[in-house]
Amino acid sequence: MINLELLLYAFMALLSISSVIAVYLAIFEKKLVRAVVFSAIQSTLYAILYYLLMAPDIALVYIPVSVGLYPAVILILIRKTEGEEKV
């Protein structure tokens, strides 16, 4: 029988690996809007990790700021530019 604690640690490891992949995609993405979406995905995964690590108060503050407010401000700034990174 699978231990529930082991399953929780495996899920947290999966979330951590997924967040690293989202950071990688956000860094190397040429289209800035897609980079912001990857950054929001990474922030959501971190918020879930905070909740699983018994810090729900931090997760409740982290979600509106890093998933809502930060991408909204960045998208407003991208709208004022060309929307794609020049190489």
Q: Which of 74, 51, 73, 77 is nearest to 62 (CA)?
A: 51
Backbone angles phi, psi at 68, to 5 degrees: -105, -60
pLDDT interval class at 43 (50, 70, 90): very high
Question: In this model, does residue 56 exceed pLDDT 90?
Answer: no
Q: What is the pLDDT of residue 78?
A: 86
CA distance 17 to 38: 14
CA 13 and chain centroid, separation:
15
pLDDT, one tens digit per residue, over 57-66 is: 888 888 888 8
Place of tokens 């040429």: 30
pLDDT interval class at 87 (50, 70, 90): low
Question: In this model, does residue 73 exceed pLDDT 70?
Answer: yes
Q: What is the pLDDT of residue 68?
A: 87
Question: In this model, does residue 33 exceed pLDDT 70?
Answer: yes
Using a pLDDT cut of 90, give the percent of the chain over it. Answer: 59
